[in-house]
Amino acid sequence: MGDEKNGILEREEIDAKYKWDLESMYANDELWEEDFKKAQGLAEKVTEYKGRTVESSATLLEVLKLRDELFRLTENVVVYARMRSDEDSRKSTYQALADRGMSLAAQIEEKASFIIPEILLLDESDLKKYLEEEEGLKIYAHYLEKAFGKKEHILSKEEEALLAQMGEVANSPENVFSMLNDADIKFPIIKDENNNDVEITHGNFIPLMESKDRRVRRDAFEGVYHTYKELENTFAATLNGCVKKNIFYAKARKYSSSIEASLDQNNIPVSVYDNLVESVNNNLDAMHKYMEIRKKALGLDELHMYDLYTPIVKDVNIKVPFEEAKDMVAKGLEPLGEDYIKTLKEGFSTRWIDVYENRGKRSGAYSSGTYDSKPFVLLNYHETLDNIFTTAHEMGHSMHSYFSKTTQPYIYGGYSIFLAEIASTTNECLLMDYMLKNVKDDNEKLYLLNHYLEQFRTTVYRQTMFAEFERDIHRYVENGGALTASYLNDTYKKLNEKYYGKEMIVDDEIASEWARIPHFYYNYYVFQYSTGFSSAVSLSQQILKDGEDAVDRYIGFLKSGDSDYPINVLKKAGVDMTTSEPVDSALKLFGQLVDEMSKLI
């Protein structure tokens, strides 16, 4: 496995042990159909409580338990269908199942939409009384407190039902983008280092950009971005639709801006977002210095955007088969203790992971699953150093999910998006520490140092650049602007020029990069990569320095799920994101690493 010279495999050609075990969710599609119908039935049962949600504490408990049962079942139906569709987006059977799953979710959202508005008809004193007299409600105390915190943004039952009906239509921009980007787009064939034909795919684009052969890098870069350029008006229309959707929901819920509406879902002050952008903008000097080092190390007269991914150290070519990558990840995460490692290895051996790229498979990597399923991971594993870290990263998500759902009841079994990138990145930081400590060769050490700096560049700087772009385009539309392809290209190119500095030739092609970023459809998601990375740097340092106490706090963090506000969950683990300290100290470390590399080059 993993030999890419023969081109991309069909899914049937891949060994079962390298494919995720979705059969453990539904052994066949007939069982999925049964749950689909059962969910429809439960949805009807929920509507019978309309108008009586808070008639007594016992009724309120019945409604909340029934809602949990319905949502839990629906998640299984939706997630299974989506993951099946992601295995091969050319299969119309699973596209249809995924569409039906999304339709079902929207219908159920609509049918259950009366619950929160009816709960909010209670006075807080009545709610307190209900919590005292009905023991079973105590588990919902935090959930109910959060709902009351959003009282001014919850609409009438009729308006909430109308918004819920909009769900399917509102997802259209993202769905169109996904189909265009994953199924329909076709990149050109270029020559690799050995002059063999290779078709560019989402999965091999970054490995091609890491090539030591500059001609290969340039051809891959131009091949991808010229393709996006040809479709830029369509991509601009889908992104414009998504931004307008976010603004519509913010206005409907009486928020002053789309960013406030998005962040308020997790009780995050907008100042956390703005402080991040400001902190990174104040620390661009270190990034510009890093670009100078890269230019010097590569021996180039001009540094171009297609020179960003190739390793600075020319003589090292770390190629790691997946079986070795698993062992390496497990060794790197040993500081997290025996329980963590035992579960991690169980995940490796019981088919949590869909490992290799196949034709039609969704690009990239993610962790998914439900409260009842294994915490699955989708990879497109190529034998690069970057992919070892991707494995550690996605398993960090899945381990977080595992600890949350095995500790918390369903209502708190997930975790806030604000916390979503922390466990994954802590894994990467610990793995990097392990590799740097155990490396024997100076060149390899320099290679790893370069990789760590790349993590900072791509996770703190690049994601903050994305966050700034996202904030700016929403503001532009909120102030009456229209997102044309030329506006998006111009805005995006200027940001690249600011972030990478005068040593970088910011090629015209990069102006179209916004078109290939799925995260711009996730409603202010990307800033959390940067805050998450900063938190992870802090947590990993605490784990390595303080040992058992820090590990206990950290495992407590993984087990907390959604049982408290994310800022509080993180504070208990030892990181306070209401201050600029975590971001500032991460950027300070970046500056130190840049200086260290400067001496070694």
Length of the chain: 601
Per-residue pLDDT tens for 181-195?
Answer: 998 999 999 999 999
Q: How far apart are CA 169 and CA 188, in angstroms?
A: 33
589 pLDDT band, cuts 50/70/90, is confident
Q: Where is pLDDT greater, at 408 or 447? A: 408
Alpha helix ranges (H) inside 314-421: 322-332, 338-349, 385-407
Q: How far apart are CA 511 and CA 330, in angstroms?
A: 39
Residue spans of the domains in the chain: they are 4-169, 254-317+416-601
Q: How far apart are CA 263 and CA 509, in angstroms?
A: 32
Classify burial at 435, counting beta carbons within 10 Å of its beta carbon; exposed 0-12, middle 13-18, buried 19 or more: buried
**Which structure tokens are listed for 537?**
């740097």
For 371-395, what is the mean pLDDT? 95
Per-residue pLDDT tens for 107-121?
Answer: 999 999 999 989 999
The amino acid occupying position 200 is I
Q: Are 572 and 556 in contact (CB under 8 A)?
A: yes
Give the up-direction half-sphere exposure of residue 512: CA atoms within 13 A in the CB hemisphere.
Answer: 17
pLDDT value for 314: 67
Q: Where in the sequence numbering do the catalytic residues fall?
A: 394
pLDDT value for 592: 87
Report the range of poorest mean pLDDT among 102-116, 156-170, 259-273. Answer: 156-170
Q: How far apart are CA 587 and CA 591, in angstroms?
A: 6
Q: How far apart are CA 589 and CA 601, in angstroms?
A: 18
What single DSSP character describes residue 182?
A: I
Task: Examine domains 4-169 and 254-317+416-601 and report if their fold is the same.
Answer: no
What single DSSP character describes residue 456?
A: I
Task: Examine the pLDDT at 85 and tell me if it is beyond 60.
Answer: yes
Q: Are 48 and 24 in contact (CB under 8 A)?
A: no
Taking the whole predicted model, whether its pTM rises above 0.85 is answered as no
Classify 43 as helix, strand or coil: helix
**In CATH, which superfamily holds the domain spanning 254-317+416-601?**
Oligoendopeptidase f, C-terminal domain (1.10.1370.20)
> Percent of the chain at pLDDT above 70?
99
Classify 378 as helix, strand or coil: strand
Task: Examine the pLDDT at 172 and tell me if it is beyond 80.
Answer: yes
Per-residue pLDDT tens for 504-554?
Answer: 999 999 999 999 999 999 999 999 989 999 999 999 989 999 999 999 999
Highest mean pLDDT among 11-15, 89-93, 149-153: 11-15
Classify 238 as helix, strand or coil: helix
Q: How far apart are CA 269 and CA 246, in angstroms?
A: 18
Q: How far apart are CA 35 and CA 165, in angstroms?
A: 22
Task: Examine the pLDDT at 572 and tell me if it is beyond 70.
Answer: yes
Q: How far apart are CA 167 and CA 244, in angstroms?
A: 14
**Which structure tokens are listed for 306?**
């297609």
According to CATH, the topology of domain 4-169 is: Butyryl-CoA Dehydrogenase, subunit A; domain 3 (1.20.140)
Q: Are 593 and 449 in contact (CB under 8 A)?
A: yes
pLDDT value for 329: 98
Per-residue pLDDT tens for 339-355?
Answer: 999 999 999 999 999 99
For 372-382, what is the mean pLDDT? 97
Q: State the average pLDDT for the chain.
A: 93
Task: Examine the pLDDT at 28 and tell me if it is beyond 90.
Answer: yes
What end-to-end distance do the CA atoms of the chain give, in Å?
36
